[in-house]
Amino acid sequence: MALVTISGYPVSGKSFRALQIKQFIDEKLSREPQFSHLSTAILSDHSLSISRDVYNDGRSEKPARAALFTAMQRQMGLSTILIVDAPNYIKGFRYQMYCAARELKLRVCTVYIVAQKEQCRERNSTRSDTDKYSDATLENLFLRYEEPSSMVRWDSPLFTILWSDEAVPGEQIWEAITSGNIKPPNSGTQAVAKAPTDALLTLEKTTLTIVSAIMAEQAQSQGGVGGPTTLSLSTHLKPKIDLPVRHLTLSELQRCKRQFVTVHKKAITLGTTEKGQVDWSEEAVADKFVAYLEENLKS
């Protein structure tokens, strides 16, 4: 349904605001019968038992951030309004979250909690040892924080909540997550379609068989084949090809085969963003190669 990204300085009151947002949305859901199938959830460092200490070291922070992202992917869905309560201070990570939501066609919004550094320091000093950041880590996170901007698509729509605000802009957030625009996936956010494990073998075998079949037809005709020709590759695979009225050399056909295989090897090994499922069957490869030969063997 939607992804709500909370962002702000450490100890700025993000968890409190996330709870306020959840309570507002829950009340709305209870009063709106058409949304009765929806549920809300808060995902945070605390819910994943991620210690504050991970932010002391970049090497430990990276796997912690990966754990948060993985949990977010598991919980996102068309029937869930997910609130991610974490520092989310890196704009690249917020973009990654945005892409994951866009891939699932979810609505998104970002809530920026604004607080003065001194206020955060004071609140941090009153926390227990297990819940507080070390002074050095806190100052480091202040320096590294990348403020959200309504000018970039992954932070939009952006809602700002000040430290002194008593309530959250619940109505605006509700409108964004229930009636805001859903941006469809594009090539940058779509999952890459993977080829089957035997695709490369099928590609090599089918193209080689077609080259051999053309040479065999040409040898039987004692010259150029020319015109529409049916190639008998197997009992069930007999593609038709329109060949030029001239003698085709083996080196010419092999060159076309190498070029065709090289292009399609890339799609097999790296994946493709073509719409729909890519067909790597013998029939599909044969049809593609025949079309390629007809285009490149013109007189």
pLDDT band at 276 (very low <50, low <70, confident <90, very high): very low
Which of 18-22, 184-188, 283-287 is predicted with the least confidence, judged by mean pLDDT? 184-188
Quick one: CA dihedral 256, 257, 258, 262, positive or negative?
positive
| pLDDT at residue 181, as a whole number | 84
Residues in the chain, overall count: 299
Cα–Cα–Cα angle for 109, 111, 116, rounded to 5 degrees: 160
| pLDDT at residue 210, as a whole number | 93
| Rounded distance between C-alpha atoms, residue 211 and residue 190, angstroms | 36
Query: Which one has a higher pLDDT value, 122 or 1?
Result: 122
| Rounded distance between C-alpha atoms, residue 168 and residue 158, angstroms | 13
Q: What is the pLDDT of residues 96-115, one digit of tens each?
A: 999 999 999 999 999 999 99
Report the percentage of the chain scoring pLDDT > 90: 65
Task: Say if residue 71's pLDDT is above 70.
Answer: yes
Phi, psi of 175 (to 5 degrees): -65, -40
CA 275 to chain centre: 15
Q: What is the pLDDT of residues 241-263, one digit of tens each?
A: 988 888 888 999 999 999 999 88
Whether residue 244 is preceded by a cis peptide bond, meaning omega within 30 degrees of 0, is no
| Rounded distance between C-alpha atoms, residue 109 and residue 176, angstroms | 7
Report the percentage of the chain scoring pLDDT > 70: 91
Average pLDDT of span 209-222: 86
Q: What value does the mean pLDDT of the chain take?
A: 89
| pLDDT at residue 255, as a whole number | 92
DSSP E strands in 52-119: the ranges are 80-85, 107-114
209 and 233 in contact (C-beta within 8 Å)? yes
Q: Helix, strand, or coil here: 38?
A: coil
| pLDDT at residue 245, as a whole number | 82
| Rounded distance between C-alpha atoms, residue 240 and residue 28, angstroms | 63
Q: In this structure, which amino acid lies at residue 31? A: R
**pTM for this predicted structure:** 0.65
| Composition of the chain by helix, strand, coil, percent to 5 | 50, 15, 35
Assigned token pair, 224? 């150029």
The position carrying tokens 């065709």 is 260
Assigned token pair, 145? 């924080």
pLDDT band at 188 (very low <50, low <70, confident <90, very high): low
| Rounded distance between C-alpha atoms, residue 86 and residue 10, angstroms | 9
Print burial letters for 250-285: b (CB count within 10 Å at least 16), e (below 16).
eeebeebbeebbeebeebbeeeebeeeebebebeeb
